[in-house]
Structure 1
């Protein structure tokens, strides 16, 4: 974002903020698509899971669906409601909903959504128990990612209390994205190998 709350304070409705449209919002369109792909990824993991471990993958799919719903609503409101409201001077509720408010609804929903994404990944970690190096790596990535998110939440909350600003949001988003960037291709390899084995059987 090019217009930071430090530069444009409450109620975040100056001309500087208005000028950020559409640049500060364009990333939300692919982000919404990624949320759907995340659910598809977890659904594929559920299909791959051994029968005794499907309870873990099912829980992961449920959490992924909730996380995706939270973030889809969060982003869709920003791109369809916030900017037109600012341009028309319809500012009731603007400050609490805008992405520029570090203590607003947008940041809170991002924190919740990405926390649930991290928890969903941790839930499916037990699915990858075949003993191969790739599956061990995936398992430790998912568990380690969630542990890092929890540690960050505790540390930021201890330092700042409930007034976390956007610090935890930045951390949890970074951790989840890095985890998916690294683990995504590994999961794809595992699923591809499983599909090849089932076709060859």
Structure 2
């Protein structure tokens, strides 16, 4: 997209906001990138980025108390929208983390990595949270993957993973040690469990792809 856009990064008091802002600004310097807690700015933005970090219950509490919930829900349905980490989990109905209700925009829930299954191929116990670099396999094609190699590495920090009812939402998966959902997409919305702002060139490319995306699912 060649015309100047306003890209709003939602500030409801949770998330790696400064790092997200710096990464998006780096790839979208010709656009108006704003970190904002103003509902009117989010509502009027051309695109919205919805980060989240920390406990799901705290994220939902802050979002509800910020006055931003309604405009975030509307943006997720109406314009190019990118959820990041807990910002992806919040889009679903429920999380096992503190038995927390999400926004319910998609059917499904976030589950904790089960201790009984956290064993690698040589019998070593895996840590939770899942923290560090991991390969992301493209479950299906999407413009957000343009210029990003299938199985490229992204940085994760999480103890819970999304389990969508509609598996057609899933566009990216990782293994730890079983396969889990790393990215989803529906119409003009994309969301990722990993942190693009911590993921070097691949992460910057993903943000660049979102900035350039017209909101259509075809490449």
Q: TM-score, normalised by structure 2?
A: 0.23
Kindly indicate which of the two structures has a greater share of residues assigned to strand: 2
Kindly indicate which of the two structures has a greater share of residues assigned to helix: 1
Structure number with larger C-alpha Rg: 1
